Amino acid sequence: MSASTLAASGLGLSRNEARRRFSHVEQGEVLEELRQEIVDTLTEGVWERPWRVYDLDDLSGVETIRLVEQGLMTPTFADGAGEGRGFAVYGEDQASLEINGVDHVRLLGFRAGDHLDDLWSLLAALDDRLETVLAYAFDASWGYLTSRPSQAGSGMRVYATLQVPALMLTGRLGGIALELVTDGLALTPLWGGAGGVVQVSNLGRQGKPEAEILQQIEVISHGIAEKERSVRKMLLRENPIQARDHIGRSLGVGQHGWSMSFSEAVNVLSAAQVGLEQGLVEVPGLPAESVFDLMTRLQPAHIVMDHLDAKTGCLESPEIDQTRARLLREIFAGACAR
């Protein structure tokens, strides 16, 4: 599958310690004891790569949001509060660990491109290592127990991020989403659906083996990607002027915009990427295989920390939109339509 169609892969594993109650009902001192036990394991144990343990109280709002933008922290955990919470990142952002959020432990992995199998191999190894220290709550009938009974079983959530602007433009995503529900899957927009970016994920209690869940997501994602390619060809064949006009206007915005919201930037990049793959445009500064990475780096907290030296803590600052537009002008400087 084209890396630009399957834009990113994500995976999460939720676990709970059998000797403690779930985080939302356990006493603070017990959760703090568990947090310290896990942190000691991360910092003193033998791991292939080191863990960076964060003090959540020391993280600014912008730093926290940047972790969410990277896919290393869930929005629910970022918005949470309470005693005993902890957070750590493995290696060079290969994975992360939320402690005493919705569940006692949640391992996360997120990577641009088609890497679900690689993520599963990594998180399974980290999970096995943690299980040598923690007594996971497991039931022969229910599987891994979670604070939300509907998610018990494998405790695994799988996310495949797809760029399907043609399916979104033609209104076909609604029908696909309804079909997926019958298979226990969800199709939800990412970033409000800007650029036709959506996520396919598994829903509800998962009694299937992990490998079967992964295969199901991969097969479905490949099928949706094939539909996207077919619709792109159909649009270009049946409405060539409209297709070229849409892509050409996006190039113009990228070349000459001076203030750009994140959603608008994603729309511009998505249209340009389609134009590249259809041979309609040339954008030397925009390699198709890294467009999703670029979209990620154009999110507000990334802009503030990477280009504004964290001078503003306000993610609504006009300077963010101005900086984003400047970056796109540089990328699209040599762009042209064929």
> Which of 180, 200, 229 represents a domain boundary (last residue)?
229
pLDDT at 3 > cutoff 60: no
Beta-sheet strands, E only, within the chain: 6-15, 51-54, 86-90, 95-99, 105-112, 138-139, 143-144, 156-163, 185-189, 197-202, 281-282, 336-337
Residue with tokens 């399974």: 124
Mean pLDDT of the chain: 93
Contact 254, 268 (CB under 8 A): yes
pLDDT at 50 > cutoff 50: yes
pLDDT at 37 > cutoff 50: yes
> Which of 171, 204, 229 represents a domain boundary (last residue)?
229
| Mean pLDDT of the 41-50 span | 94
42-62 burial, b at 16+ Cβ within 10 Å, e below that, comes to beeeeeeeebebbeeeebeeb
Give domain status of residue 321, yes or no.
yes
pLDDT in tens, 186-241: 999 999 999 999 999 998 666 688 999 999 999 999 999 999 999 999 999 999 99
The residue range of the domain holding 305 is 240-337
Residues 215, 79 share a domain: yes
pLDDT in tens, 114-154: 999 999 999 999 999 999 999 999 998 888 999 988 778 88
CATH of residue 189: 3.30.590.10
Residues 219, 247 share a domain: no
Rounded-to-integer distance, Cα 257 and Cα 259, Å = 6
What is residue 301's predicted lDDT score, i.e. its pLDDT? 96
What is residue 206's predicted lDDT score, i.e. its pLDDT? 61
Give domain status of residue 199, yes or no.
yes
Residues 174, 97 share a domain: yes
